[in-house]
Amino acid sequence: MNADSTPESRERGADGGLSYAGAGVSIAEGDRFVDMIQPLMRRTFGPRVIENPGGFAGMFRLDYNERLFKRNYRDPVLVACADGVGTKVKIATALRKFDTIGIDLVAMNVNDLIVQGAEPLFFLDYIAVNALEPEVQAELVKGVVEGCRQAEAALLGGETAEMPDVYPEGEFDLAGFSVGVVELTRATDPERIEPGDVILGLASSGVHSNGFSLVRQVVEHAALDLNRSYEELECDQTLGEVLLEPTRIYARPIVKVQRGYRVKKVITGMAHITGGGLAGNLQRALHSQVDAVISESNWSAPPIFRFLEKRGGIAPAEMRRVFNMGVGYCLVVRPSFAASIQDKLRRLGEEVFVLGEIVAGSGSVRKIGDSD
């Protein structure tokens, strides 16, 4: 399409369409970029994606009546969110490793979607760079594609913008948008949480995509080397590799567990643990007549958190406010189903902790031993 056009951006869709940059970018480079990413994107398409060559937007069938893939919603609620990965992009740039940060981008979005009870449907990305380097941006898209495959979402489109006057040399930014769907009657309703409900935590894969401004301060002030491994990290990876570990995507296990209990609503609340930490985010799942009581002895923070705390001289309370401390996602479940849900989640590959329980209260998160 428009191989002769001259805008500042390359639009990508389930459409094969594209447009080209005038400001010093060769059409050949743009062509090469699209050639690289189109087959990648297509790897995420399920039967519900409508390919529309030349189209201006991506198309996704919500209801789908074909025999093999029948899906219909009675009262569909679309769930949508936008998120970025913050300054984790700077670690990717420092390591010149660009093929996983897209997983983080998908994770930050779909882990929010599933909190509302939704199954992810599709994803779009926005990549803005100082200068197009097709190999680099294709690596970014590779990560997004991998994230979409993990989340079972279609990469329906995206935009790659080259803005040399906005982004300094070598810098880039990533934003993502995700849409899911949930039956109205199955959407997470915080009012259903009751005293006695059990709080489960799913292990994080590391720092995920929050707190990187603080992480980078620690790296700088303690003169740490991203390319070195440290004994305290208790692994062979370098510090940079540990920090860049992609955010875990919880979509598949959470959607599967929810599908397993079609009639009974056994999950009464959920939370994606991002900035604000466990307390800040779990609190959003509560209503004003219950508290969550957490027993911190039920799991231990992975080495990277103890390392950052020690090397940065960060106060423990600050650590808990900024980082996930090893728990990336929470479920609040009916006590009689807690064991079977744990069991299912473990069989789906998750490490599960029993974090605590719900008691009568006033909408806050407390640690065992805190005064109420």
User: Considering only residues 148-177, where is the footprint of its own copies by CB under 8 A?
Assistant: 156-159, 161, 163, 165-168, 171-173, 175, 177
Interactions with its own copies, residue window 304-333 (CB under 8 A): 318, 321-322
Interactions with its own copies, residue window 218-257 (CB under 8 A): none
For 83-106, give one letter per residue: b (16+ CB within 10 A) or e.
Answer: bbbbbbbbbbbebeebbbbbbbbb
CB nearer to its own copies: pick between 129 and 345: 129
Q: Of residues 33, 98, 126, 250, which one binds its own copies by CB under 8 A?
A: 126
For tokens 């997470």, the residue is 188
Residue 198 CB, nearest approach to its own copies (Å): 20
Interactions with its own copies, residue window 185-214 (CB under 8 A): 187, 190, 210-214
User: Under a CB-based contact definition with an 8 Å cutoff, are residues 207 and 218 in contact?
Assistant: no
CB nearer to its own copies: pick between 216 and 252: 216
Residue 359 CB, nearest approach to its own copies (Å): 19
Residue 183 CB, nearest approach to its own copies (Å): 11
Residue 231 CB, nearest approach to its own copies (Å): 28
For CA atoms 116, 155, 94, 96, give the dihedral sign: positive
* Burial class of residue 354 in the structure, from the number of CB atoms within 10 Å of its CB (0-12 exposed, 13-18 middle, 19+ buried): middle
How large is the C-alpha radius of gyration of the chain?
22
Interactions with its own copies, residue window 274-293 (CB under 8 A): 274-277, 279-281, 283-286
- In 3-state terms, what secondary structure has residue 359? strand
Q: Which of 349, 10, 364, 274 is nearest to 162 (CA)?
A: 10
Find the part of the chain contacting its own copies (CB under 8 A) among 31-39, 54-62, 230-238, 299-307.
54-62
User: Under a CB-based contact definition with an 8 Å cutoff, are residues 47 and 69 in contact?
Assistant: yes
The phi and psi torsions of 232 (rounded to 5 degrees) equal -65, -20
Report the 10 Å Cβ neighbour count for 300: 12
Interactions with its own copies, residue window 66-85 (CB under 8 A): 73-84
Residue 367 CB, nearest approach to its own copies (Å): 14
Q: Of residues 29, 32, 38, 87, which one binds its own copies by CB under 8 A?
A: 87
CB nearer to its own copies: pick between 22 and 260: 22
CB nearer to its own copies: pick between 234 and 366: 366
Give the strands of the sheet with 290-294, arranged side by side.
Answer: 267-272, 327-333, 198-203, 352-360, 290-294, 365-367
Three-class SS of 295-306: CHHHCCCCHHHH
CB nearer to its own copies: pick between 154 and 293: 154
Q: Of residues 30, 33, 86, 267, which one binds its own copies by CB under 8 A?
A: 86
